[in-house]
Amino acid sequence: MVHKTRILRRTATALLVLTFCLSGAALAQESTTPVMAVIDINTASALEIEGVVGDPELAQRIVASRPFANKRQLVSRELMPLEAYDKVKDRLVARRLPPAPEDAN
């Protein structure tokens, strides 16, 4: 009886250690995944936009074409082709800007 108890304890301990090792490996793998920043095309600088789209001229055209009601307007306004948009759309947002305050005068 004592022998079976030892075997059960060792097995339980081994399973527990294995579980901790596997969970630690999973956490380590998750932490090395690069985090992709999401930028707002209505407020980001041309340099930030260039970092996503990879084209300085396109970034300048995007800045000059603001504001956007939604990010899909990058395609509908013919600023970028659909294929290029599909590659970067998950890293872009187009938040609506609050209306400009009216002049008190």
Question: Tens of pLDDT along 36-62?
Answer: 789 999 999 999 999 999 999 999 999
- Under the banding of pLDDT at 50, 70 and 90, the label for residue 15 is low
Whether 21 has a pLDDT exceeding 70, the answer reads no
The whole-number pLDDT of residue 93 equals 97
- Is the Cα dihedral 69, 73, 77, 79 positive or negative? positive
- Under the banding of pLDDT at 50, 70 and 90, the label for residue 87 is very high
User: Are residues 96 and 41 in contact, defined by beta-carbon separation less than 8 angstroms?
Assistant: no
Mean pLDDT of 62-78: 97
CA distances 28 to 16, 21, 25, Å, are: 18, 11, 5
- Under the banding of pLDDT at 50, 70 and 90, the label for residue 4 is confident
Long-range contacts of 1-9 (CB under 8 A, 24+ apart): none
- Under the banding of pLDDT at 50, 70 and 90, the label for residue 105 is low
Strand partners, 40: 93
Tokens of 79: 């600023």
Q: Higher pLDDT residue, 45 or 16?
A: 45
Euclidean distance between the first and final Cα of the chain, in Å? 93
Which has the closest alpha carbon to 93: 18, 34, 27, 41?
41
